[in-house]
Structure 1
């Protein structure tokens, strides 16, 4: 059943993002991660982090988008393939462009072009050159922008099977660059060629962009009435797919043209439309802010649930393993000590057999609560499984770890657990180790040492601490 859940989530997550259901996509991405991590299912993790990052970007949570993409990249470097890496370059570009870090955005495009050429993904190469052209236009380097668009068009022609809309989209960039260079004749002939292309009947967005460019061209040529008509055509098309931000830009141009035409009645009408549009944008942005707040609350709950043991409320095995490995790497870099304790309850099976499993659960809860009061907020206490617990003490030497272990041993020994008239006292055995002069670099290594010492403590009579081999 678990595998069926994972397959279903793998399909749902990208679909939800494609449908613009970003909240649901992010929440289901966390569910996919929760199911994939115990099995080290890296394909599922990559799907989850990529779509999570793209969805965060779409709702304006750029920091969270960067964070998810960072994690995607780490997994991709070790367990992904070149196609996964290419996806990451494309998304890095989008995030850097949104953050106005155009130098980093260009670096990502260069990496994308290099890899996509090797993979013969000419549609990706073409899009990358088109995006490069767009960045050059932001810098007002229209000569370079035109050159990049022309290379992009050549790459688009190499794509098989042929994709005419890809070529047309790149021609839109060429027109923008030509208008920037005041090459109005060439611009007009390209726009006319595109508008007359029946392909655009199926691509309304691109058709709207053609009329928007025609409006800018006529404005630059000071043919104001024709410019107004072109922008009006663009407006009608954009309203059909409701891109309020492009619509805002078009309405601003129409307002300016009314002033230049000295047509104040028309200007009043356009201004009213513009004000209504601004109200709609404001309403959407408020709704988006509310969505972000709700999403943060939901995600905090999801993350907590994903990292928490259902019975004791302590951290679970997955959180312990991933966080400890991260801490061990940092401890090695910073030349710090880190202490690991592993303990379990002496004779826990006999207690379950004698008093029942529900009573055993109460013992686990009491011990969890008692131990929680003995450690700092900066440390980790978690249930590893069954009656086995792990404590990770950051910046603590083996000697100090042994002192803390003794305090925990005595605390548990002093507990008297009463439930439904049944009374029981329990003891634990503890294995303790440090990170061995910073040579332990992952959880598995340090856990195995502490676990071995735990069983030595049991062989020595239980209710003991062992901190040596």
Structure 2
């Protein structure tokens, strides 16, 4: 399987896993897709990975992590995304802001999604956006505006091709809820009757449950408390069948309230017990979610570490180096900071491999890797660039600090005691150094090229030496 087929298969797998509600597996596979996309600069795959990661974190309740990924998604979307990607950004942003109860920001995202949906003629997404707008105003008890946006959502649903009746049903549920809030019971009854007559509800249990929940509010607002309790009970039974504990909690609270109003102590005791059991189940699920979040976090760390680390030396690999260095160079250009690039390789490495074998050559690379990990503290980067060549990036360092580090590395490599068959093999390196301010380099490739030229000059001077960029 070539790289294109592999990435396409990863995309399909990630999307399929999310559709099945396997959010842990989705996140793990999406991070693998992310790394593959970054490796080949396949921005569409990276964006697809981000969207699936965000929505999966949202579904398991890890909103903080979802927001962090959303920030990365937005940056890449602004630079490499198309209108479809931007629409995904607005829709996922809405989900997170609504969950966080930041309704002003949620509305801002819906405004952007509405404009883009109209431009792209995505009427199903437009209808959902208007319906979500209506839902927020229902929460805020601004039923007049809620009704206005729900009606816009209904108009958009009618424009969708092919036609999906369920789109209209979902909007009409909000229309009826708004009419109930406005005490326009005659209009609400007419809307509810329209929804009830729809045969499409047979295939959509969630909407069927919402209809009975709506009936409950309809009767409650008119003081018909027994009828309201009966409808909320039917809604409860339907919701239990598809296991939405949070909607169930809302329905049970309404049933408890109605028992108090009806002054039915016996029924109230039974409903309260059901409610307590439900709260215990929700608490258990929250604990399970916390454990799942930790499991996913550790798994993602492992995946990311493997994808960014050289298998032999434990240093960062070339892909991670280039991505991070380019980011640092962009920031340094804005702030006027200096970035140092140090490139070195092992003198006569081919001869060492020929004389002592490749396993011994690997041993030398491993020892140099250990040395780099010791000498190059975070946030600086030490990388095995390829073969026996290593690259070090020093962030916000002076030229003098760079030169001192070059000399230190050279001296410490010479001190390595690496034995083969009881004989100590001397190891030396040749080093070149450059910096972004002297070279005016804004991309890693340009900065590295200058350091590599200096490394080549060090070789010409007889090896076991260094050449600085001045």
TM-score, normalisation: structure 2: 0.96
Q: Which residue pairs with 2:408 in the alignment?
A: 407
8 Å CA contact 2:51, 2:73 repeated in 1: yes
Structure 1 residue 374, shift from structure 2 partner: 2.0
Contact 2:439 2:447 in 1 (8 A): no
Aligned to 2:436: 435
Counterpart Cα distance in 2 of 1:416 and 1:131: 68
Counterparts of residues 63-78 of structure 1 (less than 5 Å): 63-78=64-79
SS in 2 for 1:390: strand
**CA deviation after TM superposition for structure 1 residue 153, in Å:** 0.6
1:209-242, CA deviations, whole angstroms, 9 ceiling, x for partnerless residues? 0110110111111100100111111111111111
Gaps of 5+ in 1: none
Q: Does 1:129 align with 2:123?
A: no
Please say if residues 341 and 391 of structure 1, whose CA atoms lie closer than 8 Å, have aligned partners that are also in contact.
Answer: yes
CA distance in structure 1 between the partners assigned to 2:207 and 2:298 by the alignment: 38
In the TM superposition, 1:35-434 aligns within 5 A as 35-434=36-435
- Using the alignment, how far apart are the partners of 1:19 and 1:438 within structure 2? 52
Question: Per the alignment, do residues 438 and 147 of structure 1 end up closer, same or farther by CA in structure 2, a change over 3 Å counting?
Answer: farther
Q: From the superposition, tell whether residues 438 and 112 of structure 1 become closer, same or farther in structure 2 (CA, over 3 Å).
A: farther
Cα distance in 1 for residues equivalent to 2:438 and 2:361 = 38
CA gap of 1:420–1:250, structure 2 versus 1, over 3 A, is farther
CA contact (8 A) 1:340 1:432 kept: yes
- 1:134 Cα shift? 1.5
Structure 2 CA distance for partners of 1:27 and 1:250, relative to 1, 3 Å: same
Summarize the Cα distance change of 1:180–1:439 in structure 2 as closer, same or farther, 3 Å threshold.
farther
Structure 2 partner of 1:34: 35
**2:340 aligned counterpart, secondary structure:** strand
Q: Residue deviations 1:252-276, cap 9 Å, x none?
A: 1111111211221111221222122
Q: Aligned partners of 1:107 and 1:21: how far apart in 2? A: 30
Give runs of ≥4 in structure 1 deviating > 4 Å. Answer: none
Deviation sequence 1:34-81 (CA, Å, 0-9, x none): 222221122221111110111111111112212222222222223322
Q: Secondary structure at the match of 1:342?
A: strand
Secondary structure (helix, strand or coil) at the match of 1:436 reads: helix
RMSD of aligned residue pairs (Cα, Å): 1.5
- What is the rounded CA distance, in whole Å, between the counterparts of 2:30 and 2:281 in structure 1? 30
Gaps of 5+ in 2: none
Contact 2:352 2:361 in 1 (8 A): yes
Shift of residue 5, structure 1, vs aligned partner: 3.1
How far apart, in 1, do the equivalents of 2:248 and 2:444 lie?
54
CA contact (8 A) 1:328 1:438 kept: no
Asked if the contact 2:432–2:458 (Cα under 8 Å) also holds between the matched residues in 1, the reply is yes
- Alpha carbons 1:17, 1:55 under 8 Å: kept: yes
C-alpha contact 1:188 1:214 (8 A) present in aligned 2: no
Contact 2:435–2:469 (CA under 8 A) maintained in structure 1: no
Measured in 2, the distance between the counterparts of 1:468 and 1:259 equals: 82
Asked if 1 retains the 8 angstrom alpha-carbon contact of 2:236 and 2:248, the reply is yes
Counterpart Cα distance in 1 of 2:250 and 2:64: 27
Distance, in Å, in 2 between the alignment partners of 1:148 and 1:350 is 76
CA contact (8 A) 1:337 1:438 kept: no
- State the partner residue of 1:23: 24
Task: Write the deviation string for residues 360-396 of structure 1: whole angstroms up to 9, x where unpaired.
Answer: 0000011111232222232111111111111111121
Cα offset, 1:422, TM superposition: 4.7
Provide the C-alpha distance between the structure 2 equivalents of 1:250 and 1:378, rounded to a whole number of angstroms: 52
Residues 136 and 145 in structure 1, CA contact (< 8 A), matched pair in contact too: yes
Q: How many Å separate the matches in 2 of 1:383 and 1:93?
A: 42
Normalization by structure 1: what TM-score?
0.97
Indicate if the aligned counterparts of 1:2 and 1:35 stay in contact, CA closer than 8 A.
no
Is the contact between residue 126 and residue 155 of structure 1 (CA under 8 Å) also seen in structure 2? yes
Give CA deviations for 1:76-107 in whole Å, capped at 9, x if unaligned: 22332211221111111111111222222111
CA contact (8 A) 1:25 1:55 kept: yes
| Distance (whole Å) between structure 2 residues aligned to residue 367 and residue 395 of structure 1 | 24
Give, in angstroms, the shift of residue 438 of structure 1. 8.5
Q: Is the 8 A contact 1:36 1:45 kept in 2?
A: yes
Name the SS of the counterpart of 1:160 in structure 2. coil
Q: Distance in 2 between the 1:437 and 1:212 partners?
A: 69
Deviations 1:87-139 (A, max 9, x none): 11111111111122222211111111111111111111111111111122233
Aligned length: 469
> 1: CA distance between counterparts of 2:258 and 2:109?
39
